[in-house]
Amino acid sequence: MRRRLLGVLLAFSVVAVACFAVPLLTALSDERTKGLELSRTADLAWFAMLAKYADESGSPMRLQSELLSFHALYGEDVLVVDSDRNLVASAGDIDAGQDEVPHLIDVALRGGTTSYIPSIWPWSSEDVLLARPFGTGIGVSGAIVMRASVDQAAADVAVKHAMVLTGAVVAMGVCALLCGYVTRWVLRPLANLERGVRALAEGRSGAEVPDTSGPPELRDVVSSFNRMSRSLAEAAATQAQLVADASHQLRNPMAALRLRIDAMGGWVPPERDRSYQAVLREVERLEHLMDGLLKLALADSKATSLAAPREAAAGEPALPEAGDEVCDVAVVLPERLDAWRDIADAGGVHLASPSADDGEPVPIRMAESEFAQVLDIVIDNAVKHAGAGATVRTEVRADGPEAYLQVTDDGPGLPAAELPLATRRFWRSTRGHAPGSGLGLTIAERLVVARKGRFELRRVDPHGLSVRIAVPMSGPAPLPRARAQAATARGVRQPTP
């Protein structure tokens, strides 16, 4: 937009300067041309008077002397002939038979005058022929022809044109500076507003932009954006805090309720056992829902902290960016698969070993705890919904600046219309009856996108579901610890069935 606006302003400036300079250049040329024309017309009139005197006295000596002086001063040729075309006097290289001279003599002998000089420009160089008659008031005694040079006039015009063009260039420079200043003044609030909108879209809480520069109308727009950003930040913070507080505060009553219900198990009559089991299932569903809400609140908080810039206090070293955590996919993935293998076997689901690029480290820009949480959600989703007899396969691939993880199952999958809905909060497919809160894939997507990655769901032919995760890599260098050391140094965390 800046280029377009600057281009329009500069084009307008060029047209404005040209509209001023071109007429001025033309006027200067016409003025110098008219001056030369008047000067040579006066010279011809003087020579005509001398020629008349010479014709009356019979002595052309004075006329010849004046012609030679004129030629020596201006370098221009003059020819004087009588009515019979006989030479009376001349100066310079001109005679009655050259070029257009005979025609001009004919015009002059018929009483006509040729005094027109075309407009002179800096590149003009061709001499101009002028002519007029001389004689008494009742007859023409002869003709005078002058070859006028335009070199000096062209040089004068060139000097004046150079001054005008220099002024035009200076004016264009001033206009360019003014256009640049106006463009920055107008567009700086828009650029700040664009950065603020991008920051708000990336999840930065309370993103604001300065509203101290630019036109008043744009400053009002920026002020409105800042008020909207603050309102959204307060609403988001209130919502996240409400979810976190509600989930946390409900844990103790829910735990007490669970203990009481479990203690009542031995006192429930057989005819009430069905109702008792339904109550247990509802309590478990509420526990899963509260856990999911708390994890979602933590995921939102993490995404916001990653989007917000971190600044160090004055005099302190720069703080590391929130997205500098690194983990190795080739280390974390086998651990999580081993942790889920018993649960998958109990459900009749085969959890295949991962397929990676020659077992090389695949470092990604994501905290190990976050990546493990994403893997737990995706594997849990595949094991629960693929069904008995299904196979879950994982594949890791590093391609350019990103690492790709794909978890595929050959279960029933999801219809194409439901794929965009699967990552919505609390959404659950109507095709299955597996327990869950409907928040797992939402949390996984939120964590991946917060790391500037992509979380995609795709159908598998002829049936099944594929979860494709792309996360930026941290670089080709291996992580400080080796894979074998990592497997023995940490215990494998077991997921909750």
| Residue among 103, 101, 183, 200 nearest 146 (CA) | 101
DSSP for 428-465, please give it. --TT------S-HHHHHHHHHHHTT-EEEEEE-SSS-E
Query: Which pLDDT value is given to residue 461?
Result: 86
DSSP for 40-105, please give it. HHHHHHHHHHHHHHHHHHS--HHHHHHHHHHHHHH--EEEEEETT--EEEEESS--TTSTTHHHHH
Domain ranges of the chain: 2-155, 216-307, 327-489
Distance of alpha carbon 367 from alpha carbon 298, whole angstroms: 14
Q: Considering the chain, what is the average pLDDT of its residues?
A: 81
Query: Which pLDDT value is given to residue 191?
Result: 78
Contacting residues for 109 by C-beta, under 8 A, at least 6 apart: 83, 133, 140, 142, 143
Query: Which pLDDT value is given to residue 314?
Result: 42
The region of weakest confidence among 75-89, 160-174, 260-274, 390-404 is 260-274
Is residue 28's pLDDT more than 90?
yes
CATH of the domain spanning 216-307, picked from 3.40.50.150, 3.20.20.10, 1.10.287.130, 1.10.10.410: 1.10.287.130
For the segment 466-481, the average pLDDT, to the nearest whole number, is: 72
Query: Which pLDDT value is given to residue 490?
Result: 47
- Token pair of 446, please? 């939120």
For the segment 56-72, the average pLDDT, to the nearest whole number, is: 90
CATH of domain 327-489: 3.30.565.10
- Compute the CA torsion angle 189, 191, 192, 194 (nearest 10 deg): 120
* Residue 404 DSSP one-character state: E
Top-confidence residue, 323 or 406: 406
- Token pair of 137, please? 């008031």
Specify the long-range contacts of residues 281-286, CB closer than 8 Å, at least 24 apart: 281/435, 283/254, 283/257, 283/258, 284/435, 285/435, 285/437, 286/254
Q: Is the pTM value of this prediction over 0.75? A: no
Assign a CATH topology to domain 2-155: Beta-Lactamase (3.30.450)
The region of weakest confidence among 66-75, 156-165, 250-259 is 250-259
